[in-house]
């Protein structure tokens, strides 16, 4: 090709490619409907992916005319790309949102109002009211929850025994946690009594868990409320554990996985965490399944809840919305099917047994799910009984407003008390309070 023609060809090609990118969405007309659904397991999790694909095939067979396309972006929900995906028309018809982002996604109009269609999810009425309320705004429903849990104390029973502590009597107060951590650190040689986060948003997140457990608050009437005796106690205890007892280790854990990796290595005694921490420690990070127990959160005044829900793309047509909700019903809310097919999970080598999902509570569906999980357990469920029993009297707390921003603000205070011996806790809290109030004022 002559250089001139090549140049014209290249230019024309680029222009046409760009023009093609801006094409219109398929019309809603026609009988068949295609939906895209998020959260297909990654290729590296071959058995789970195979199970998902089998579920898709079964769903399509049960719903003639509906075609399901899965996406396997990991993590399923990524706040960094969420808005851009939605704006660029790349968002799936059915997408997952963690509880920390419910309010934000709903407030920004990034989820469809499904109030009139919740009947398509057969067990919707069995989902706990407070869990459903998190997805309801001004009487309108914006998503279907399918996971809910509260935070507890995850501990290593083997390390407890080695330190001369009774693994069947885990700590119930923060003083007991501190004493146990000191004993564990006394084992020397890399042993950490109590592991804690100091950055990446996880520091502030664990601050919230600890302050709730002591009866404190994060935000009250749109104002920061953590500069309180409870907030100070959280930071002071951590500071003293780090520099007086030397029981927190010297590593500033950043990012959700870092502390679980440390826990799985078998030399860390305790950490705050929801039951799914044990699943990940055992399944993802190869911790020994018989080593880990879960207790209720220390002090137990209240506990931060976590969870996730599926929402529908606001651009979805009526037919897509209907098919999307049918998928949610089939895959995430039916005992013995999809996510709740524990027999298949057990056969696939999954760490079944952790009480990591209480979104259906004591409803008939909830009881059925709990029975199935127990019947197919591969983990020692009796080690999680202190959590199940202890959590019954614990008040559940929702994420504060502007949770992610406030957690990022509190990272500074958390990292300070874990790295600087002369950290001024009063000043750290006052600074964080003023910054959090500025963020909240913009709500």
Partner 1 sequence: MPAKRPARPRRRPPTRKKRTVRTNLTAYGFLCAALFCFALFAWWPMIRQIIMSFQETNLVDEPKWVGLDNFRTVVEDPAFGQAWKNTFVFSGLALLCGYLIPFTVAIVLNELRHARAYLRFVVYLPVMLPPIVSVLLFKWFYDPGPGLFNAVLDGVGLPTLQWLDSTDTALISLVIVSTWMNMGAGVLIYLAALQNIPGELYEAAELDGAGIFKRIWNVTIPQTRLILLLMLMLQIVATMQVFIEPYMLTEGGPENATVTVAYLMYQYAFRFGGNYGAGSALGVMLMIVLLVVAAVQLRLTRDEKR
Which positions from 423 through 442 interact with partner 1, judged by CB under 8 A? Answer: 431, 434-435, 438-439, 442
Locate 18 and state its tokens. Answer: 């760009």
Site string for partner 1, 357-396 (x = CB under 8 A): ----------------------------------------
Q: Which of 121, 402, 425, 440 binds partner 1 (CB under 8 A)?
A: 402
Q: What is the secondary structure of 110-176 as a DSSP string? A: -S---GGGGGGSTTGGGS-HHHHHTTEETTEE--EEEEEEE-EEEEEHHHHHHTT--TTS---SHHH
**Structural tokens at position 2:** 């002559």
Contact 351, 275 (CB under 8 A): no
Instruction: Specify the residue, 294 or 414, whose C-beta has the smaller distance to partner 1.
Output: 414
Tokens found for residue 246: 């030397």
Residue 251 binds partner 1, judged by CB under 8 A: yes
User: Which segment (41-49, 84-92, 331-339, 359-367) binds partner 1 by CB under 8 A?
Assistant: 84-92
Supply the DSSP string of 353-402, one letter for each residue: T-----TTTTSHHHHHHHHHHHHT--S-GGGGHHHHHHGGGPEEEPPPTT
**Contact predicate 373/342, CB 8 Å:** yes
Our finding on whether 408 is near partner 1 (CB under 8 A) is yes
CB–CB of 217/228 below 8 Å? yes
Cβ proximity to partner 1: between 121 and 432 the closer is: 432
H-helix or E-strand spanning residue 272 = strand 268-273
* Alpha-carbon span 130 to 303, nearest angstrom: 14
204 touches partner 1 (CB under 8 A): no
53-82 residues near partner 1, rule: CB under 8 A: 79-80, 82
For residue 88, the minimal CB distance to partner 1 (Å) is: 9
Q: 87 to 116, contacts with partner 1 by CB under 8 A?
A: 87, 104, 108-110
Report 230-249 residues binding partner 1 (CB under 8 A).
249
**86: contact with partner 1 by CB under 8 A:** yes
Q: Quick one: 60 or 104, whose CB is closer to partner 1?
A: 104
User: Residues interacting with partner 1, by CB under 8 A?
Assistant: 3-4, 6-8, 10-11, 14-15, 18, 79-80, 82-84, 86-87, 104, 108-110, 190, 198-201, 203, 249-252, 254-255, 402, 404-405, 408, 411-412, 415-416, 418-420, 431, 434-435, 438-439, 442
């Amino acid at each position: 090709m002559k250089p001139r023609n090549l140049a014209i060809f290249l230019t024309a090609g680029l222009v046409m490619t760009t023009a093609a990118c801006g094409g219109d969405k398929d019309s809603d007309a026609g009988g068949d409907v295609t939906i895209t659904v998020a959260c297909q397991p990654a290729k590296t999790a071959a058995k789970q992916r195979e199970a998902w694909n089998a579920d898709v095939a079964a769903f399509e067979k049960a719903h003639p005319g509906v075609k399901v396309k899965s996406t396997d972006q990991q993590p399923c929900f990524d706040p960094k790309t969420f808005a851009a995906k939605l704006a660029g028309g790349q968002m799936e018809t059915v997408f997952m949102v963690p509880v920390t982002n419910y309010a934000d996604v709903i407030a920004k109009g990034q989820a469809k109002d499904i109030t009139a269609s919740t009947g398509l999810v057969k067990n919707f009425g069995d989902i706990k009211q407070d869990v459903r309320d998190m997805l309801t705004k001004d009487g309108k429903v914006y998503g279907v929850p399918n996971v809910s849990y509260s935070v507890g104390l995850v501990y290593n029973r083997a390390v407890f025994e080695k330190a001369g502590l009774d693994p069947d009597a885990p700590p119930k107060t923060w003083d007991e946690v501190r004493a146990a951590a000191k004993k564990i650190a006394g084992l020397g040689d890399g042993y950490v009594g109590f592991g804690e986060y100091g950055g990446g948003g996880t520091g502030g997140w664990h601050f919230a868990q600890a302050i709730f457990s002591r009866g404190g608050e994060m935000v009250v009437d749109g104002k920061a409320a953590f500069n309180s005796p409870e907030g100070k106690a959280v930071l002071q205890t951590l500071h003293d554990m780090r520099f007086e007892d030397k029981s927190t280790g010297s590593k500033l854990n950043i990012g959700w996985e870092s502390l679980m990796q440390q826990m799985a290595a078998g030399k860390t005694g305790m950490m705050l965490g929801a039951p799914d921490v044990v699943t990940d420690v055992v399944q993802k990070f190869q911790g020994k399944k018989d080593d880990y127990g879960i207790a209720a959160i220390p002090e137990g005044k209240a506990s931060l809840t976590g969870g996730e829900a599926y929402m529908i793309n606001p651009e979805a047509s009526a037919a897509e919305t209907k098919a999307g909700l049918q998928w949610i019903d089939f895959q995430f809310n039916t005992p013995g099917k999809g996510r709740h097919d524990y027999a298949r999970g057990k056969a696939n080598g999954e760490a079944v047994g952790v009480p990591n999902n209480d979104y259906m509570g004591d409803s008939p569906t909830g009881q059925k799910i709990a029975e199935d999980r127990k019947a197919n357990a591969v983990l020692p469920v009796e080690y999680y009984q202190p959590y199940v029993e202890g959590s019954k009297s614990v008040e559940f707390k929702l994420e504060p407003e502007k949770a992610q921003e406030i957690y990022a603000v509190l990272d500074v205070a958390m990292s300070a008390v874990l790295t600087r011996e002369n950290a001024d806790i009063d000043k750290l809290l006052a600074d964080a309070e003023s910054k959090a109030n500025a963020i909240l004022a913009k709500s």
